[in-house]
A = this chain, B = another copy of it.
């Protein structure tokens, strides 16, 4: 039954992260007190310092953890069961895949998504910066992804980033709504429909873009 020291440390570190994530459901990170977290975990306040130097640092750890969830989502959105034959089929498959990934992954990591949504603009400055940086990385990745799609040849790098920004913003807002839906099936399905149609509209517009300048 003897537990190695690093195991024990990792266990209470996890407990702190979980406690903070749960407490953040009711209040922003900036309003979170070290003592609240310690009480929730079941340790004495000063023990907190054995793991994090401050609440801000805790927040940065939570951002990292949350974006791991998001990357999982994005990876599965890029994975196709069967490679689509035609360009049009690829198109529809991309839309379908992305939206499906959204509605299956977000509810599984809803606390993380709610955390990001909350702290993206309201968190302490270092946390805000970290979130912003991660989102920019995602936009860039999406832009290079789009560049490989047939029909995107005439697009400039800047235009690709602008399109990626539009898509990430839209999907992020849907992810927020799904995370806030608390798993209610009907709400999630409605959002799924909205997301699909919006993706359609944007991609159709994007396809006839460079011819319309």
What is A's interface to B at a CB cutoff of 8 Å?
Answer: 27-28, 30-31, 117-123, 159, 162-163, 165-166, 169-170, 173, 176, 194, 197-198, 200-206, 208-209, 212
Contacts and interface: CB of A to CB of B under 8 A. Distances in A.
Given A121-B176, A169-B169, 4 more contacts: A27-B30, A159-B197, A166-B201, A201-B202
A69 to B, nearest CB: 17
A198 B122 contact: no
Count of identical protomers in the assembly = 2
B118 A162 contact: no
A3 to B, nearest CB: 37
30 contacts: A27-B30, A30-B30, A117-B121, A118-B122, A121-B121, A121-B122, A159-B197, A162-B194, A162-B197, A162-B198, A163-B201, A165-B194, A165-B198, A166-B170, A166-B198, A166-B202, A169-B169, A169-B173, A170-B170, A200-B205, A200-B209, A200-B212, A201-B205, A201-B209, A202-B202, A202-B205, A203-B205, A204-B205, A204-B208, A205-B208
Contacts of A200: 205, 209, 212
A36 to B, nearest CB: 13
Contacts of A201: 163, 166, 202, 205-206, 209
Contacts of A122: 28, 118-119, 121-123
Contacts of A123: 122
A213 B39 CA distance: 55
A182 to B, nearest CB: 14
Contacts of A166: 170, 198, 201-202
